[in-house]
Structure 1
């Protein structure tokens, strides 16, 4: 049982590129199946943390793997978006989101290794929730738009309305802001740690 959380994190890391490869295919069947892969990976995220806390199985490896697996999955989701519509989901916005999350995740892993506790703000937690809701919604709309079903027209209207572009800008601004806030709130700890080296 003690290895289950880490195994689930590894499964998420493996599923992330599989999802990305499947979603960017032109065939509807591949894109539809990729949503199931994405959902499965998201479920592992829920259970690995729950199992680790319930059975007190948290470990240094788990502290490293869990956020890494989360970012693999999130980045895979964002990398898919420009393939749907590069005008509404520009690569520069995806790059800003990735750079922010890589920077903060690397910092957290470093400070955890040093046994330094950094404060996590509500904005950062809200950012994660907004990112995942946004990704789920857009990725599903991408499938519906391609499918020959009644909802396809509504999905196409969403893409043509420009709403998704503004939603992407909101997610990007929130993500970048939360990164700056994270650094600002923890500046005293980070400065003291740098001075001690």
Structure 2
């Protein structure tokens, strides 16, 4: 495994997971803001590592494996933290949809890769929009407090529902693409 800057950024995102959890649970008035800041930094490294890997031609099989794992881990942990802090169905349902989709689509991508059809379930625009809504929602839900008169929690919850809807839609797109690829394989 080559230690490139994109791979180091991915490892940083993984190392930030326990920091995020510890900060969120601290009984300090600044804990939520600090946890939200760590999540935002982790989200930015997600974008930056992919950008740099493509720009500097430093894509690697290990990076292609580790990057989505890091993304799913930090999103799942952050959603669990938020649900534990506010255990309501209004929050638990979209969190479960998002976490469930991440597991299902990861399994689908792995299966399609084994069949040599990984590109048939590549990330598209809907997935990128979902990720943006999801990361913004989670950062706002971690922050929790109104800011300059803006109802941060409510905006975060609304964005989480948007992310959950995009999650289901993108999963349907990926599943449809996989089915078409499987049909081509079975006919050819």
TM-score in terms of structure 1 length? 0.76
Change (3 A) 1:121 1:33: closer
Alignment of structure 1 residues 31-42 onto 2, 5 Å: 31-42=32-43
Counterparts of 2:6 and 2:157 in 1: how far apart (Å)? 36
Q: Deviations over 1:92-119 (max 9, x none)?
A: 3312210101111232244346542114
Counterparts of 1:166 and 1:39 in 2: how far apart (Å)? 18
Q: How far did residue 89 of structure 1 move?
A: 4.2
Stretches of 4+ moved more than 6 A in 1?
none
Q: Deviations over 1:57-100 (max 9, x none)?
A: 11110100111111122222222322443236432331221010
Q: Which runs of 5+ in 1 are unaligned?
A: 146-150
User: Number of paired residues?
Assistant: 184
Partner residue, 1:188: 180
Contact 2:136–2:156 (Cα < 8 Å) also in 1: no
Q: Aligned to 2:120, what secondary structure does the other structure show?
A: coil
TM-score in terms of structure 2 length? 0.79
Q: Which runs of 5+ in 2 are unaligned?
A: none
Q: Aligned to 1:186, what secondary structure does the other structure show?
A: helix
Contact 1:17–1:76 (Cα < 8 Å) also in 2: no
Partner residue, 2:128: 125
